[in-house]
Chains A and B, each alone.
Chain A
């Protein structure tokens, strides 16, 4: 047994409410309204009045400030608020930081959220590209690595070269995740099946990555409510405990164009996983279901390695035999994830993790007791272990 006093996070807090708006290529409401809608749904789900919220946690890329959230929802004094950077790497950190604040007594009811419209320039890091490129991107953008997909295509090619991975493996990820979306009426790709032939015939976006290796472009928002364990028992839904939480910026990391450290294929997930598992009572082999950040299909393969489901270089082969499907060893992205449900910087992965632990997923893994949720691989990242 661990000394729980030495681990002030472990199981001390729970997610007691989740909320999501509809997801679509275009929604009429502004980002602010989507954020308020998602938060309101999450608080109703928990059975907690908005006036009780005193902690707010979001992404640095979030377009709506905390003061807007607080005064629209009629919150009383908010005593803790914070933001996490690096886009898709932030999600689990946003929730984990809120859990730390709740566990430390800096607030009692924390809300974490993300609202995102694809038309909003601030939400898309590459949409601000100008003819003069500043900072880290001056080393890559002038040469035509313009979009996140181009940056990840470079890593993918190297991975294929070193380990003999092929497009068949990327296709394994894309089709498994799509099959989950086909069971989720809220997924943008709910009605669209994806066959291996369609995948192989798809147009290139940035070789070796094709259309179906890329996440969707979505409008939408998600929110979760975090309280202390003792408070969780009074809430409307079954509590889902935050068992462990970690973030990482690994040595010599450069976000997205992470080509400058000794081994760029050992990504941020490795360092994040080390802390995550060290603070946990269980390991990768005990995980029943996982929500692995999937802005691009190869990130799932890199995360399988980083979080220890297989050894380095074995992530591609791990996907063979429909391992990631509902009947497989490790069902992954069971709502359809960023590839096939919606892309809201990974926040829907957190909501789906909670749904699995409640037994409420559209692709419910029978008897699931543990869920790993991860945020962006390839950027400073974060992860959560959830249990019921």
Chain B
């Protein structure tokens, strides 16, 4: 089976994915003015500071929206279609959002929750699907979501 797609950690995102591998959902918080930002980037858009901390979040949120893709899709995804892709609004700041999948448990298939039962507004919490990495590769885990 062709593998599913993985994020390629880069200068901006490497820390985020490494925290996921450690089982933590963290977002950047400006060390000067306190503004949170997601996706990660070097500069705070409010005060232009380069200094940021990685704030540990509760990992709770609500479903902001979702789509249910059907084929034609890449083979690894077509096998699981139709599946739900959700956008989660994080509890600490609902304008911080993340794309992910609603699953029964970490690492379960994308269609492990019937996508037609997903509702906008339902509460979810993060789980992390580990990703095996070779020696020297950036650490990585995929944040997924289950119902709470």
A binding-site residues for B, Cβ under 8 Å: 129-136, 138-147, 149-151, 153-155, 157-158, 161, 203-208, 252, 254, 257, 259-262
Contact = CB atoms under 8 A, between A and B. Distances in A.
B77 A259 contact: no
A367 B70 CA distance: 44
B65 A158 contact: yes
Given A142-B4, A143-B99, A146-B74, A157 B65 contact: yes
Interface in B8-30: 8-10, 13
Contact of A144 (B3, B65, B101): B101
A291 B10 CA distance: 40
A136 B7 CA distance: 10
A144 B39 contact: no
Count class of interface residues, chain B: 35 or more
State the 9 A-B residue pairs at the shortest beta-carbon distance, nearest first. Answer: A153-B67, A138-B7, A207-B68, A158-B65, A132-B8, A140-B99, A204-B70, A161-B120, A142-B5
Given A144-B85, A144-B110, A157 B66 contact: yes
Interface in B104-120: 110, 115, 120
Contacts of B80: 144
Given A142-B7, A158-B64, 14 more contacts: A138-B7, A138-B9, A143-B100, A144-B110, A147-B73, A155-B65, A157-B66, A157-B120, A158-B87, A204-B68, A204-B70, A205-B70, A260-B39, A260-B96
Contact of A154 (B73, B85, B95): B85
15 contacts: A131-B5, A132-B5, A132-B6, A134-B8, A136-B39, A140-B99, A143-B85, A150-B69, A154-B85, A155-B65, A206-B70, A207-B67, A207-B70, A252-B45, A259-B99
B128 interface: no
B6 A204 contact: no
A133 B7 contact: yes
B97 interface: yes
Most A CB within 10 A of own CB, among B66, B70, B101: B70
A141 B77 CA distance: 11
Nearest to B71: A205
B7 A145 contact: no
Interface of B: 2-10, 13, 38-39, 45, 64-70, 73-74, 77, 80, 82-83, 85, 87, 95-101, 110, 115, 120, 142
B4 A139 contact: no
Contacts of B45: 252
B74 A154 contact: no
A207 B82 contact: yes
Given A140-B99, A142-B5, A260-B39, A154 B13 contact: no
A139 B5 CA distance: 11
A206 B67 contact: yes
A206 B69 contact: yes
A259 B142 contact: no
Contacts of A135: 10
Contacts of A203: 70
Given A153-B67, A157-B66, A257-B99, A139 B6 contact: no
Contact of B65 (A129, A133, A147, A161): A161
A147 B142 CA distance: 20
Given A134-B8, A139-B7, A158-B120, A146 B69 contact: yes
A154 B66 contact: yes
B6 A131 contact: yes
Nearest to B70: A204
Contacts of A131: 2-6
A203 B85 CA distance: 19
Contacts of A207: 67-70, 82, 115
B96 to A, nearest CB: 8
Contacts of B98: 139
A300 to B, nearest CB: 19
Contacts of A154: 65-67, 85, 87, 99
Contacts of A252: 45
A144 B70 contact: no
Contact of B142 (A142, A157, A161): A142
